[in-house]
Structures are given as structure tokens and as C-alpha cells.
């Protein structure tokens, strides 16, 4: 099983600061495109061949997946899209620049909202410019319903809506001998990693999955990793990429 976190994207804003994009649509950046290409090249170098790909309904993950499959020469494989692999819904923080939010509320409060396992941010409200954009997005016509659509999510809640798709859809395919590629987001992927490696709540909060560097798992018959995740990159590059992700929420 190959896994890639969606490449770097940013909000349609006048500044280039990263924002809590979550479930909203963002555009490609030059860096994001290069990250997706790097992920594709790493998987190609590892001679990975996939039978089925899974991704979220969000554009940034779809573009990452398309770029990877183009490089692999595997664009003809089936692609399954689901809202259950979406990024965490950041509620009232949606659209706010991370550094600006940290400067306003303090780095510790931002860390609590963004990184704590079960403490969600405040809910998104109708006066948020992205409220209707998200809630009325036609990509959610098959679910969830408007009454079920989350107004905020903690990491715990994100995992709770991600794992049913893993257990009910992806696991049966792996048991059939299929090789799976997942292109999703930092928090939905952390849910899968936490489940596979039986990590504690505290440990998963400290895991920063890098963009542009895919990782692979080989699972046994019990759907447990034969070994821990293997990043397709040299250790120093992986370390720096993880540190970059960890630093995104700090005030500047």
C-alpha cells in the first residue's frame, strides 16, 4: 500500500501565508505541483504498481493523485473518491492564516485547536465566507447530508469518520490481494496510521506527515504492518519535511 499526503496548497488570498484550508477548495501552488511530482517520482523509482486508488473529494488531493498516476503511467486504474478521506474540518478557523491566528490567540491555543486529539476548534458560523461554499458544495450530494455535515472536527472526530471507509472499503480490497494507493490529507491519513500502528493519542498528535514524500506499508493477514511506515526518501530530507509541517502553525 502506497500513501501520499496531498501536496502543498494555499487559499485564494492576497498573501501567501498558509491557512486552515480543511474542507474548502484551494488552488495549486508551484511548490505544491513540484511536491506531487516528487511523490510520483519516488513511487516510480520504488517500482510501485497499483490496482486501485482512493482519495478525498477535495481538489488538492485529486490533483496530487492525478499527478502521481501520470508519472507512474497508471492513469487507467479505478479511482474512488470519498468525503471520509477529507481533511479535518477546522470550523471557525477556516480561512484564517495560521501564523496570523497564532499571533492573535497565541501559539499554545493554536496548538490546542490544531493538534490536540479531542479538543475541537470553535464551529464555523454562517457569517464565515466559506460557510455556504462548503455546505452547498455539489461534491457532497452523495453524503454527508447537511444535517450530518460537521461544523468542526477534532482529530478524534476526523478519525472516527475516516476509519469506517478504511475498514469497509479499503481493507476488503487489500484482502483480495489488491495494491492500494491513497492520496489524502494530513489528519485523515494520521487516523489510518494511528489505527495501523496502534499509536496512542499522544503519539499521533506528535506525528507530522510531510508533503511530497510518500510512504508505504506492507500488511500481514491481520492487516497489521509487517514493519513501520517506510518513507520513500532519505532520512534527513524526511526529517526536515516533518519539521516544516510542525512549524506551519507558529507565529512569525
Annotated binding site for substrate: 60, 87-90, 98, 114-115, 186-187
Cβ(6)–Cβ(60) below 8 Å = yes
How many Cβ atoms from other residues are within 10 Å of residue 228's Cβ?
11
With vertex at residue 217, the alpha carbon angle to CA 20 and CA 184, rounded to the nearest 5 degrees, is 25
Specify the residue for cell string 471557525.
92
Cβ(212)–Cβ(35) below 8 Å = yes
Q: What are phi and psi of 79, to 5 degrees?
A: -120, 125
Q: How far apart are CA 121 and CA 152, in angstroms?
A: 6
Q: How far apart are CA 172 and CA 64, in angstroms?
A: 25
Residues at the binding site are 60, 87-90, 98, 114-115, 186-187
Q: How far apart are CA 222 and CA 68, in angstroms?
A: 29
Residue 72 in grid coordinates: 507512474
What is the per-residue burial (b if ≥16 Cβ within 10 Å, else e) of 159-193? bebbbebbeeebeebbeeeeebbbbbbbbbbbbbb
Amino acid at each position: 500500500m502506497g500513501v501520499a499526503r496531498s501536496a502543498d496548497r494555499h487559499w485564494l488570498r492576497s498573501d501567501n501565508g498558509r491557512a486552515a484550508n480543511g474542507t474548502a477548495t484551494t488552488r495549486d501552488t508551484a511548490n505544491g505541483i513540484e511536491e506531487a511530482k516528487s511523490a510520483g517520482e519516488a513511487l516510480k523509482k520504488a517500482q510501485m504498481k497499483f490496482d486501485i486508488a482512493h482519495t478525498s473529494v477535495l481538489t488538492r488531493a485529486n490533483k496530487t493523485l492525478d499527478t502521481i498516476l501520470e508519472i507512474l503511467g497508471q492513469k487507467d486504474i479505478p479511482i474512488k473518491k470519498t468525503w471520509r478521506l477529507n481533511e479535518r474540518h477546522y470550523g471557525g478557523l477556516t480561512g484564517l492564516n495560521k501564523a496570523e491566528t497564532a499571533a492573535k490567540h497565541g501559539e499554545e491555543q493554536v496548538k490546542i485547536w490544531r493538534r490536540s486529539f479531542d479538543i475541537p476548534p470553535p464551529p464555523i458560523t454562517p457569517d464565515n465566507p466559506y460557510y455556504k461554499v462548503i455546505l452547498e458544495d455539489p461534491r457532497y450530494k452523495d453524503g454527508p447530508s447537511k444535517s450530518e455535515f460537521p461544523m468542526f472536527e477534532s482529530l478524534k472526530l476526523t478519525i472516527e469518520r475516516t476509519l469506517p471507509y478504511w475498514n469497509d472499503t479499503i481493507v476488503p480490497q487489500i484482502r483480495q490481494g489488491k495494491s492500494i494507493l491513497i492520496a489524502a490529507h494530513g489528519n485523515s491519513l494520521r487516523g489510518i496510521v494511528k489505527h495501523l500502528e496502534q499509536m496512542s493519542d499522544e503519539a499521533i498528535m506528535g506525528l507530522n506527515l510531510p508533503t511530497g514524500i510518500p510512504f508505504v506499508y506492507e500488511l500481514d493477514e491481520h492487516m497489521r504492518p509487517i514493519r513501520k511506515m517506510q518513507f520513500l526518501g532519505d532520512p534527513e530530507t524526511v526529517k526536515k519535511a516533518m519539521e516544516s509541517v510542525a512549524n506551519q502553525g507558529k507565529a512569525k
